[in-house]
Amino acid sequence: MAGYLNRENRVPYYQRLFQEGHKQHIRQWNQTRMGRNMLRVYYTTFIITGAGSMWMMGRMVLGKKTWWG
């Protein structure tokens, strides 16, 4: 808990970073590595669930109610 209380204030660093990105027209969520990684996970999950839904919708139209059988 003591490490959290004595932590460096990162607000001025991020404020400068986001203001510089605004001048270069970079979206805020693409300015840090963590934001890009979170978006990669989000997009991957979105694509997989969308593809799975389309796959199963096609199978249900054909009258099959399982994933592979």
- pLDDT grade for 68, boundaries at 50, 70 and 90: confident
Domain that holds residue 52: 2-61
The residue to which tokens 């959290």 are assigned: 4
How many structural domains are present in the chain? Answer: 1
The residue to which tokens 């605004």 are assigned: 22
In a domain, 15, yes or no: yes
Q: In the prediction, which pLDDT does 56 show?
A: 95
**Nearest alpha carbon to residue 21 among 10, 8, 31:** 31
| Bigger pLDDT: 58 vs 6 | 58
HEC assignment per residue over 44-65: HHHHHHHHHHHHHHHHHHCCCC
In a domain, 28, yes or no: yes
In a domain, 68, yes or no: no
Mean pLDDT of all residues in 44-68:
95
In a domain, 56, yes or no: yes
- pLDDT grade for 40, boundaries at 50, 70 and 90: very high
Mean pLDDT score of the chain, rounded to an integer?
87
In a domain, 9, yes or no: yes
Mean pLDDT of all residues in 15-36:
82
